[in-house]
Amino acid sequence: MIPIYEADRLEDLPLFDRGPQAEADVGAAVDAVLEAVRTRGDEALREYTRRFDGADLTSFEVTEAEMEAAWDSVDEDFRETLRQAAANIRRFHEAQVHRDFCLTDRPGVVLGQRYTPIEKVGVCVPGSPVAFPSTILMNVIPAKIAGVREIVVVTPPDENGAISGSALAAAKIAGADRVFKLGGAQAVAALAYGTETVPRVDKIVGPGGVFVAAAKRKVFGQVAIDMIAGPSEILVVADGKSDPAWAAADLLSQAEHDTHAAAVLVTDSRLLAEAVQREIETQLADLPRRDIARKSLEANGKILVTKDLAAAVEAANRIAPEHLELCVDDPFALLPLVKNAGSVFLGRHTPEALGDYFAGPNHTLPTSGTARFSSPLSVDDFVKKTQFIYYTREALTDAAPRIADFAEREGLHGHARSALSRMEEKGE
Amino acid sequence: MIPIYEADRLEDLPLFDRGPQAEADVGAAVDAVLEAVRTRGDEALREYTRRFDGADLTSFEVTEAEMEAAWDSVDEDFRETLRQAAANIRRFHEAQVHRDFCLTDRPGVVLGQRYTPIEKVGVCVPGSPVAFPSTILMNVIPAKIAGVREIVVVTPPDENGAISGSALAAAKIAGADRVFKLGGAQAVAALAYGTETVPRVDKIVGPGGVFVAAAKRKVFGQVAIDMIAGPSEILVVADGKSDPAWAAADLLSQAEHDTHAAAVLVTDSRLLAEAVQREIETQLADLPRRDIARKSLEANGKILVTKDLAAAVEAANRIAPEHLELCVDDPFALLPLVKNAGSVFLGRHTPEALGDYFAGPNHTLPTSGTARFSSPLSVDDFVKKTQFIYYTREALTDAAPRIADFAEREGLHGHARSALSRMEEKGE
């Protein structure tokens, strides 16, 4: 049963263990895969795809014909769901686009900052149990909005060398440029180094198991990566008026992800705490993934009782959860108190699942307490900034003595000279 | 002598080696330092500061009295230089501040994104040869503008346990909250884990040698880090009308940094290429750091001759330099062609040194070709984003069937239930 704690003193708050996955265990294996793909290219990819996915492929790229067949295989109702979800995601992420700026208010001086898209991006999509269409929408659409020129999706094939129709339909709707039947560390290697048929990209994003996580960490620097996601987490803040069945359902929706997932309820009501504890047991009985959910709850599930709702939000800030639900009458009153959280779900009718698939904000969120310093995946992750500076001769003349003095004090005389040399124009 | 290449075909462009520093060599030593500071705190800090900095300290924090004495020790002229530089940096970085947004155009739906400051930030400032005041201004001011609550500067003491007056004056002007006399891997460890007297921070920024770089990479995940900076680089695009003396001075201002620094001239004029080649030799003769500059030029310096200026900018995009100078008549015509560069210096009177100290844009820039996917340090590095979603019951009712369908197709029935359970209100 999920345990209940009194958590009036925040220092005593029992935190759960959210260490990184055991990447070290697979380090040597991943090194071998990276090296093989770097040196032997497609040949190594064929080998690993045969060994790990059981598929014998001569070429990896999904063809136009396969795309069309996939599209036709998906029922129109789900296509419409994908279209609506994509439209919502597009609308939210378009609001994230920043403008370049330019400062021109000083005579002879222009300063500015431009955004340009990263040129090529790879999106990893895990294949097990199925390639999630939602993962494809959430990773490809922000890249598309950022203006990335080439978006390459990689996802492992099944034993017949095929990829699920709904994943390909999502890739089409999201606007992916190319899809390759590749998974695991070998897919990361192909994107980081390039092969005869797979383009080398500038950034690799998307979730993955321990092999993909380890490979991403190893190629980081060569290429950019997004984040190494840990187990999924939810923290539900709920008042005494909350329906225990809803709170229980939300906690279970997280716990069913995997056995390391964390589901926490924080409430100011001892009564609710106990009711949710009972309700979880009831709902577990007929949940298809109940074994996973139960293990997860036993390891990382907890219910905290705080003296009031402000203390509950303070507890949330301390835990810095990936998902934070505020199931209270006036959630907007609590929102300004939230400091550390990936995505906040406001009110009684905003379950986390809404954000996972449909509402529009991204579902790739900082885990393991990294919401203290990290952000949800966004258009920002697919652009980079370039600063620019322009000075006229007159403006430089004014500034040069101070620049030279500054440089001399830091011991860099060549820097001083590069400013002063402009003052010694020939023939004057 | 710096070599000249014809680079009409970009594929043939000779790139220089910009691999990461040899962090692996110091890995074991850094592990030991991290572990000692994590488990023994201040005692370990005292030990390492004695061993590595030769200073015997009982406490590490710079006192109010030391701050005042430092301020008084700096001449008023340099204080004014610091003030003007700080004002320019503040002005530029204030323009980077993003607004929260909120989308309210659909009935029953509110979506948004908030920015909140990272709570505590540590700034590492190398001590050798001196703690650079410019490093302090460039790292502390953006954090201050972001609203970071506690900004902690660490910089190693000299043998007398002192820190340079101009560094402390810069810390005061920039608005650092606390300064500690700590350097190397032990400073990074103290910031990542916290000790009896040093606060644990959420993010560590600032440059450093190989020990600091290795330590930052190892604590990454525990805390956020900025980037692992490689050797400094400049790429000067110059037309035939450029003064060879200025171009040479700019190349040398980079080459004098360290022997791994890279200085590259790209020009459409063979005549200029040869003139700059000669001029570098002349200027090297009386440059105080000529030995360093010469080694750097021999290893990584080069001059490329392209068929026109557009090809020169294309070469720059391929190299993705930290600093890019456009020494041409109409630099703003070339600016839109620039894709990959940290900071662009436009025109004949905008030497890189202007950006290092004074103009306002940041001098912490992506190196080693990472401008393909990374950005200059900015206010963005000291904030994080939180998304929020609010749906009314009616809005959820509309969306729930599609959410449930989506979840079922991805095999997550608990997700489906958490949406549908809201529809089964009791007593209805």
How do the domains of chain B map onto residue ranges? 23-225, 231-341, 392-423
Q: How far is A51 from chain B (nearest CA, A)?
A: 26
pLDDT at position B274 is 97
Please give the Cα distance from A148 to A135 (Å, whole number): 18
Asked if the C-beta of A361 comes within 8 angstroms of chain B's C-beta atoms, the answer is yes
Is B105 one of the annotated binding-site residues?
Answer: no
- Out of A98-107, B264-273, B347-356, pick the least confident: B347-356
Superfamily of domain A231-360, CATH level 4 = Nitrogenase molybdenum iron protein domain (3.40.50.1980)
- What are the structure tokens assigned to A365, written together? 């969120």
Other Cβ atoms within 10 Å of B295 Cβ, number? 16
The pLDDT tens digits of the residues spanning A303-312 come to 999 999 999 9
Task: Write down the catalytic residue from B322, B325, B352, B363.
Answer: B322
Q: How confident is the model at residue A342 (pLDDT cuts 50, 70, 90)?
A: very high
Q: How confident is the model at residue B8 (pLDDT cuts 50, 70, 90)?
A: low
pLDDT at position B15 is 58
pLDDT at position A422 is 77
- Out of A396-405, B57-66, B181-190, B405-414, pick the least confident: B405-414
Judge: B132–A410 Cβ closer than 8 Å, yes or no.
yes
Asked if the C-beta of B97 comes within 8 angstroms of chain A's C-beta atoms, the answer is no
Is B254 one of the annotated binding-site residues?
Answer: yes
The continuous run of DSSP H or E covering A299 comes out as helix A290-300
Which chain B residue's Cα is nearest to A227?
Answer: B221
Complex ipTM = 0.93
Helix (H, G, I), strand (E, B) or coil at B248: helix
Q: Residue A378 pLDDT more than 50?
A: yes
* Average pLDDT value over all residues in chain A: 91
- What are the structure tokens assigned to A297, written together? 């709850």
Q: Residue B16 pLDDT more than 70?
A: no
Judge: B387–A331 Cβ closer than 8 Å, yes or no.
no
- Out of A14-23, B96-105, B184-193, pick the least confident: A14-23
Q: How confident is the model at residue B428 (pLDDT cuts 50, 70, 90)?
A: very low
Q: Please check whether the two domains, B23-225 and B231-341, share a CATH topology.
A: yes
Asked if the C-beta of A142 comes within 8 angstroms of chain B's C-beta atoms, the answer is no
Q: How far is B91 from chain A (nearest CA, A)?
A: 9
The pLDDT tens digits of the residues spanning A268-309 come to 999 999 999 999 999 999 888 889 999 999 888 999 999 999
CB A139 within 8 A of CB B389: no
CB contacts under 8 A, A 28-87 vs B, are: 77-78, 81, 84-85
What integer is the mean pLDDT of B103-116? 97
Please give the Cα distance from B283 to A137 (Å, whole number): 56
CB contacts under 8 A, B 323-352 vs A, are: 331-332, 335, 338-352
Query: B398's torsion region: left (phi>0), alpha (psi -120 to 50) or beta?
Result: alpha
What is the residue-wise DSSP string for A40-88? HTHHHHHHHHHHHH----S--BPPHHHHHHHHHHS-HHHHHHHHHHHHH
Judge: B249–A417 Cβ closer than 8 Å, yes or no.
yes
Q: How far is A111 from chain B (nearest CA, A)?
A: 8
Q: Residue B11 pLDDT more than 80?
A: no
Of 3.40.50.261, 3.90.650.10, 3.40.50.1980, 3.30.70.260, which CATH number belongs to B231-341? 3.40.50.1980
What does DSSP say about strands A150-154 and A120-124: parallel, antiparallel, or unpaired? parallel
Radius of gyration of chain B (CA): 26
What integer is the mean pLDDT of B211-217? 90
Q: How confident is the model at residue B194 (pLDDT cuts 50, 70, 90)?
A: very high
With beta carbons under 8 A apart, name residues in chain B contacting A111: 92, 359-361
Is B196 one of the annotated binding-site residues?
Answer: no
**Catalytic site residue B323?**
yes
Asked if the C-beta of B372 comes within 8 angstroms of chain A's C-beta atoms, the answer is yes
Q: Report the b/e string of A315-326 with b at 16+ CB within 10 A.
A: bbbbbbbbbbbb
Query: Beta-strand (E) ranges in A136-255?
Result: 150-154, 178-180, 203-205, 224-225, 233-238
Q: Residue B425 pLDDT more than 80?
A: no
Task: Using a pLDDT cut of 90, give the percent of chain B over it.
Answer: 75
What integer is the mean pLDDT of B405-428? 73
Residue range B23-225, CATH number: 3.40.50.1980
Instruction: State the amino acid at position A64 in one-letter form.
Output: E
